[in-house]
Amino acid sequence: MRVSVFITCLADVFYPEVGKDVVEILEDLGCEVDFPKKQTCCGQPAYNSGYQKETKTAAKHMIEAFAGSEYVVAPSGSCVMMVHEFSSLFSESETEWREKATELAKKTYEFTQFIVEVLGKEDLGAKLHKKATVHTSCHMSRLMNIKEPPQTLLKHVKGLEVVPLSHNYDCCGFGGTFAVKMAEISEEMVEEKVKHIMETGAEVLIGMDCSCLMNIKGRLTRHGYPIEVKHIAQVLNEDREGI
């Protein structure tokens, strides 16, 4: 099975270690992993800001970049959701691009979704003896309806105690360009999120989107709270005994 990694902008620039963990896990699961160097941003910032023309340009580029891929996997439900939106960008007169966009969406998966639903794996042999809580990102859970795969995989991490996070489905306040345009509201939202995280008594916060984790970690750091922030790929690649 050949898998192309869609690294996403934030993982590429700020969380390269997440990409490394994704590749190591996929390879250990028997996948032949490649990295199309032509890939760029999926266009979501432009899309969220109403720049349809610019978003369409980014979408076309991404469609071409992954045209030869068998499967496309990304460590971000948010960016995967954007890929699934590509077809809506093209009018009925742009049939060829709509069809190409639809084909790309069919083979594009969020990381945990791919492991559980396509590869059929639940226990990756990871070990992490810590108390953790999980932040569920909005795009992944609400728009992609990917809820069970992360829970299933974390359930099999040896030594990991996962405690519930109050109002876990509330947005952390990042929301792409929302955090820039509505900074004061965004700040209050992440402040509330951090409050609920601290109430859990967790040592580690786990998430599936680097954007959410970057936003929440920034607030935790400002307060000086000693909580580790990890992408789920980092947790699943922790002290693995083999698959």
- Residue 41, token pair as written in the block: 């941003």
State how far the Cα of 114 lies from the Cα of 124, in Å rounded to an integer. Answer: 13
Identify whether the C-beta of residue 227 lies closer than 8 Å to the C-beta of residue 205.
yes
Closest CA to 234 of 140, 160, 170: 160
The one-letter amino acid at 189: M
Residue with tokens 């083979």: 107
Q: pLDDT, tens digit, for every residue of 173-190?
A: 998 888 888 999 999 999
State in words which class domain 131-236 has. Answer: alpha beta
In the chain, alpha helices (H):
9-13, 16-28, 44-48, 52-65, 77-85, 95-106, 111-113, 138, 148-155, 178-181, 183-200, 210-223, 232-236
CA-only gyration radius of the chain, Å: 18
Kindly give the confidence (pLDDT) of every residue in the chain, 243 residues in length, as a single tens digit, with 9 standing for 90 and above: 999 999 999 999 999 999 999 999 999 999 999 999 999 999 999 998 999 999 999 999 999 999 999 999 999 999 999 999 999 999 989 999 999 999 999 999 999 999 999 999 999 999 999 999 999 999 899 889 999 999 999 999 999 999 999 998 899 999 888 888 899 999 999 999 999 999 999 999 999 999 999 999 999 999 999 999 999 999 999 988 766
Residue intervals of the chain classified under CATH 3.40.50 are 131-236
Buried b (16+ CB within 10 A) or exposed e, 135-144: bbbbbbbebb
